[in-house]
Structure formats: structure tokens, C-alpha cells
Amino acid sequence: MSAIDSLPPLREVIASHGLSARKSLGQNFLLDLNLTAKIARQAGDLAGCDVLEIGPGPGGLTRGLLSEGARRVVAVEKDSRCLPALQEIAAAYPGRLEILQGDALELDPLQHLAPPIRVAANLPYNVGTELLVRWLTPPEWPPFWQSLTLMFQREVAERIVAAPGSKAYGRLAILAQWRAEARIVLSLPPEAFTPPPKVSSAVVHLSALPAPRYPADAQVLSRVVAAAFNQRRKMLRAALKGVAPDIEDRLIAAGLKPTDRAETVPLEGFCALARAVAQG
């Protein structure tokens, strides 16, 4: 029996189901159930919530989410070898765990969840950033999720919470901070995982704001920011010349200097620029 539930410890689960970690699937498992329960607690009060988990693997975080009281967990896992272990968890928590097998980038798990919805995951590194950008850029706001509690490589976590002027500041910081409150809530050394990855990790918690901090069209803002940071060290007027033929005028209309560099421009400045570009 484990510390948090009546199921076997994760090392036993992995051994009995032959779940040797596969690098191609970004598999670095968390085997300490006290730690997975602690990560689940960072997601906030789960009692009345459905939780979407991507990549449950052998189910360490899944068990944390369930033992911390999630109303329901919908877990999407690509590796079919993990399904028997996950089914044992579903049996221990009747009616509270739905397992979907497939690629999280292709499945639409939303058909299986009811609001309020929180997302929690120790993401596979290869798909983590892509999923985050999708969750941050839906056509409508507020999004389907109330909060995202996600494990990333430390370097990616720092890009999400970065402030203007820092080396990590860029597209991820702007997309995340425009419509969400983002903070790093836990740092984990490589040894917390089996097998240990090469780099440290961190858990980021993002809560969706009811409305964006500054008005802007999401698509225009995305385009402006992508162009601005694509050529980081260039002056804005050079980096953005493909965005509008009279970009210099638009920069001035937005209160920016054409000679500014993207890494020094605060979120508010990019939103003003997106509005000036959209007015064109």
C-alpha cells in the first residue's frame, strides 16, 4: 500500500507492468506519491472540478489528483503499455477516472469534461510547449480551463514567467501573461524523476484572467510578437517590416520607438502595437 491510497507503490506498478521508460515518448516518471500529491495541491481546490491530465504514464500524478479530491480526471496517454496500470487506478476510484488512449495533439478531450476544468500534467517535453500555446490562444476568452498546472524544463518555465528586459522574455511570456497570471510554484531537481532528465524542471501555475490585461486582437498580437522575437537583437522597425508597410508610423502611434528592441518592450506596448497594426 502506498502513502496516499490503497494501490501499490509506483516502483511495483512499473515493474509488474514492464513500463521501462521510453525516451521517444519523453518518459521521465515521478515515483514519489507525496511529491505528486504536492503537485496536485498546486492546482488549487480540485473538489468541484474536472481535471484534464496529459500523459499520465504509470499514474503517479493521476493518483495525486484523485487523492486530493478531483471530481473527475480525464487522462490522455499515448503509450498503450500504460493502460493496464491506469485501469487499476480507475477501479480504485470508481467513476472518477476516464482514460483516453491517443495523441493529446489530436484528441479532443473536451468532449469528456464538464466545467469548471483545470489542467494538470507532467508534460512530455516534446509536446509541452505546443499544447501550452494552443491552450493560451483559443479563439474565445475565457478559455475552457480555469487553471493550468504544468511541469516544464526549468528553462521553459522561466520563459513563461519572464519579465521584459530578461534574456528569457519573448513570445511565451507575452502569450501567457496577457490573459493569465503565471508563476513558478515548485522547482524539481533531475533526481526527482526516473530516469533523471539532463536538466532541472519546474511546475508553472497559470490561472486564466476573466479578460485580457490590455485590449488586442489575439491573432494580430501573436503575429506581431512572433515577428518581433524572430529577430531578437534587431530594432523593431527592421524586425517588423513584414508586418505592415508603414510599420514605423504604427510603432510611433503605439508609443514605441522604431529603434527599440523587442526584449525591452512590455506587454502593454505589444498590445498597443497590435491595436495600431489592426487599425491599418
Cα–Cα distance, 59 to 17 (Å, whole number): 12
Among 63, 72, 78, 179, binds ligand SAM (CB under 6 A): 78
User: 38-57 mask for ligand SAM (x: CB under 6 A)?
Assistant: ----------------xxxx
Minimal distance, residue 191 CB to ligand SAM, in Å = 14
Among 43, 52, 122, 150, binds ligand SAM (CB under 6 A): 122
Among 73, 90, 104, 204, binds ligand SAM (CB under 6 A): 104
Q: Give the β-pairing of 117-122 and 50-54.
A: parallel
Q: Which three cell numbers stand for residue 241?
A: 517590416
The window from 99-107, 174-182, 213-221, 247-255 that contacts ligand SAM (CB under 6 A) reads 99-107
Residue 64 contacts ligand SAM per CB under 6 A:
no
Residue 149 contacts ligand SAM per CB under 6 A:
no
Interface of this chain with ligand SAM, residues 249 to 268, rule: CB under 6 A: none
DSSP symbol at 49:
-
The contacts of residue 91 (CB under 8 Å, 6+ apart) are none
Residue 103 contacts ligand SAM per CB under 6 A:
yes
Give the sheet arrangement for strand 180-188, strand by strand: 97-101, 72-77, 50-54, 117-122, 147-153, 201-208, 180-188
Cα–Cα distance, 71 to 240 (Å, whole number): 47
Residue closer to ligand SAM, measured from CB, 10 or 182: 10
Residues lying near ligand SAM in the complex (CB under 6 A): 25-30, 54-57, 60-61, 76-79, 82, 103-105, 122, 124, 127
